[in-house]
Amino acid sequence: MLYHCGDESAHDRRAGTPAGRTLQDLSILSERIVIIKGAYVNFQQELQTALLAVRKASTLCASVQFSLITSDTLEKKDRSPVTIADFGSQAVVSSILADSFADDPLVGEEDSQDLEQNPDMLDKVFSLVREQIPGINKENMLHAIARGAVEPDYHGRYWTLDPIDGTKGFLRKEQYAVALALIEDGEVKLGVLGCPNLPLDFSDPEKGYGCILYAVRGEGAFMCDMQGENSTAIHADGNVDSSTARFVESVESAHSAHFVHAKISAALGITSEPLRIDSQCKYAAVGRGDVSIYLRYPKDDVYREKIWDHAAGLIVVEEAGGRVTDIFGEPLNFTLGRTLRENRGVVATNGALHDHIISIISELQQSR
């Protein structure tokens, strides 16, 4: 089965983080058709389009991360690079989706109002977007970004996008993801995660960095590199012994309680240190079998997760054989708007350990 995975960008890396690249390395190479494993029956055009959109958006983000983030930027806590990349990524994905699926709404994280009021930033975003979509003009670009502000029928068909998931990781030149998912009747049908800085294999950094993970409901999960090559099926690990499991959690503790994760880990008998990375790359780690468990226990009773922070990662894990629920074991509900307001937190596992972990969480809650 042939699928178009978009444009190529070459990357050099050092010590597990993106570095040593030249502007030439980030130049866009010719588009081509690549063979993606998976004899998909459903959503063929949607997958082809989503892969193209995520690859182009990932190329834009990598270019911004390379050229605009400096030590001076970090020292001044300047967030303008991630803002530029956010707008650019959403413009690219939204425009490509609209070309093929004009009637499909897009629920995105950004809208165009702030950008319209900042001419300098608008010019920078437009220049980046035009590298990916040469024929676009500013008006069409702003319209593409604004499409993300719509409120669709959440019981119908819609796409949801996080143009840069893991903004702090992006600014640190560490992990972030471009996360796109298609939802129909409350169920995630398709997901694509562009992870430009994720090691192809945590145990062997020499294998390189940067991958795209993708899945279609009922048809498995797969991973290819950022050039669209070396596509392979991925599977969650088969670990049934929680004491030998490893879990992943966020680097930042703003919306997840690390101290509760430590208690859950101790109750499970886990002795290894957690893997801490930003963004939906955590779902990728579960789906590929790098870890067995992803914990996101909420710090308070007020915060609710955003749908775009979980939809694409959820289907990758589920199609890899894993399981995703909230901390009570309830499925995530994507029919209620931009937030998962009926759910609290997230637990993603290899499947085999899921019920045990939910029971441990329940016991800890009862003992509080």
pLDDT at position 72 is 66
If one compares 80 and 11, the residue with the highest pLDDT of the two is 80
Domains and CATH numbers, the chain: 2-233 (3.30.540.10), 242-367 (3.40.190.80)
**pLDDT digits over 296-305, tens only?**
999 998 999 9
What mean pLDDT is reported for the chain?
89
Considering the entire predicted model, what is its pTM? Answer: 0.89
pLDDT at position 368 is 72
**pLDDT digits over 173-230, tens only?**
999 999 999 999 999 999 999 999 999 998 898 889 999 999 999 999 999 988 878 8
Asked which of 62-71, 79-88, 100-109, 302-311 is least confident by mean pLDDT, the reply is 62-71
Report the distance separating Cα 269 and Cα 231, nearest Å.
35
Residues annotated as catalytic are 86, 167
pLDDT at position 2 is 33
pLDDT at 32 over 80: no
pLDDT at position 30 is 29
pLDDT at position 40 is 62
Asked which of 27-41, 62-76, 204-218 is least confident by mean pLDDT, the reply is 27-41
